[in-house]
Structure 1
């Protein structure tokens, strides 16, 4: 059963969204590459990744952003997201094992905007380190 969508009048700046924890494994990178068309070898070839100065294969930046935005769309509803953005601050290194790597996404209502819109500020961490800089979204409620 899904939670009811939050109502604009019921949220205030500082309202926390429920934490999202998501594991990324190398198989996810293969599926994402096929779906997105981003076939950059740093996402699937150990040799290409290390040759580019990376420690190993890394997750696609837009996959990381997509995971972050899932927190927002799960909370507000998929059709509620009006804008989203952020910068890639640190690569998400994906080990060659069954455990993968865990992304932890936290969000908070940062500001009520005009109409029924609110700005959500996010924190996206992998291994305790922030991997996105200034990730945020604007959603409409009600």
Structure 2
């Protein structure tokens, strides 16, 4: 088991930049997750729906955020994780994934950090969320 990360309230571990998002990224995720909604691959359907272009599925960005949390803190240290989808992601968008430590508490013999999480594109947040992870408070 990895040693818990040493953090303080207000810390923002290194962010991850992903993208630009391609149609291949979306197709690969659709194949892995089984989400074949035409909003993700059919330009005619997308146009009729009122979107300016094909959109990536929200779970793709949630997965990117989950990967950042587990890579940064160790999957064995994740105690909770949740997201909210706030804006669509389009082909060509570049995303920044990260979070900030907002609180540290002790519970059941563990030092737990609460994080505010965000995936942002050029126009602002596309996914927000929260996680609780085991840490070593400094």
TM-score band (shorter)? 0.7 to 0.9
Which has the larger strand fraction? 2
Structure-to-structure mapping, 1:1-142, within 5 angstroms = 5-7=3-5, 10-23=6-19, 24-94=21-91, 100-113=92-105, 114=107, 115-133=110-128, 135-141=129-135
Shift of the 50–79 alpha-carbon distance from structure 1 to 2, 3 Å rule, reads farther
2:64 aligned counterpart, secondary structure: helix
**Root mean square deviation of aligned Cα:** 1.7
Please state whether the residue corresponding to 2:68 is helix, strand or coil. Answer: helix
Shift of 1:5: 4.8
Structure 2, unpaired ranges of 5+ = none
Query: Taking structure 1 as the reference length, what is the TM-score of the superposition?
Result: 0.83
- 1:34-69: per-residue Cα shift (whole Å, max 9, x none)? 110111110111111122111110011010111122
Find the aligned partners of 1:22 and 1:49 in 2 and give their Cα distance: 24
TM-score by length of 2: 0.85
Deviations 1:46-93 (A, max 9, x none): 111122111110011010111122221111012322221121111001
CA–CA distance in structure 2, aligned partners of residues 91 and 62 of structure 1 = 11
Task: Give, in whole Å, the separation in 2 of the partners of 1:62 and 1:17.
Answer: 22
8 Å CA contact retained: 2:13, 2:72: yes
